Structure 1
């Protein structure tokens, strides 16, 4: 069954949270696709993932590269899944994909300081619950960790 995790960011940015979530995904052996809402935003995230920390390397590419199918993490601006990922991250108010059931895990990262993002997250929550998917909510606890609720 597909799990849908909602990461509620408060006074945090996607750029701060996404790299560590992707690192954990790779440690678990997961292939990941990260969907944003525009090509420009996907490109900005691509640039950030190369430079977010001096002592780290996070192997990834955008959907444009010829070998996207071989990449462990692919950044995209649409519903494509060029690397056959079983984990999909949705950022910047990207909508749930039509092929939800083809994923083991969807991770919706939303900005709790943005009213539009909250409305979209609530709609995605309702849709996920109505499909009978396992839904988990996580919010930053202020000490670098996450509090979970199902």
Structure 2
């Protein structure tokens, strides 16, 4: 069964869920795991792509958008539809909806920021997973 972790920015943190996603990617990659970031909005995917390049000066996060990189050579992929199908280690969801394909992943990360709409959508996803019997962990994060 997929491990599901919600990561919420604490009330005194700046930043947003995209910056939080970068931090999660950095920590996950340190373990050697591959990461698929689900970001169906093309504008947000572009923003995330640029942010991953500039996240930290002393950090390199080898990533690319699925339509612009070779998935075999890239351990961090940004995808709008869950492709490629063979990715199954860690999924970071930046969509407001539950990804249909999350069940194939060992782990799902749900970053939540201070935006009221994002928080409401996050609560709905939390209930969805809980009501289906998934064990959920919640982590307060300070950026």
- What's 1:51 paired with? 54
Distance 1:66 1:23 in 2: 19
1:15-94 alignment to 2 at 5 Å? 15-81=18-84, 84-91=87-94, 93-94=95-96
Deviations 1:9-55 (A, max 9, x none): 24431343222211111121211111123111111111111112222
Residues in 1 aligned to 2:87 and 2:24: alpha-carbon distance in whole angstroms: 19
Would the aligned equivalents of 1:69 and 1:83 in 2 still touch at CA under 8 Å?
A: no
> Do 2:96 and 2:122's aligned partners in 1 also have CA atoms closer than 8 Å?
no
Check whether the contact 2:19–2:51 (CA below 8 A) recurs between aligned residues.
no
Q: Please state how far the C-alpha of 1:133 moved relative to its aligned partner.
A: 1.2
TM-score normalised by structure 2 residue count: 0.85
Q: 1:126 to 1:15 in 2, by over 3 A?
A: closer
Q: Taking CA–CA contacts closer than 8 Å with sequence separation of 6 or more, which of the two structures ends up with the larger relative contact order?
A: 2
Q: How much does 1:66 deviate?
A: 4.6
Q: Which runs of 5+ in 1 are unaligned?
A: 145-150
**Any conservation in 1 of the 2:7–2:139 contact (CA below 8 Å)?**
yes
1:108 — aligned with what? 110
Give the count of matched residue pairs: 140
Kindly state the Cα deviation for residue 120 of structure 1 after the two structures are TM-superposed.
1.0
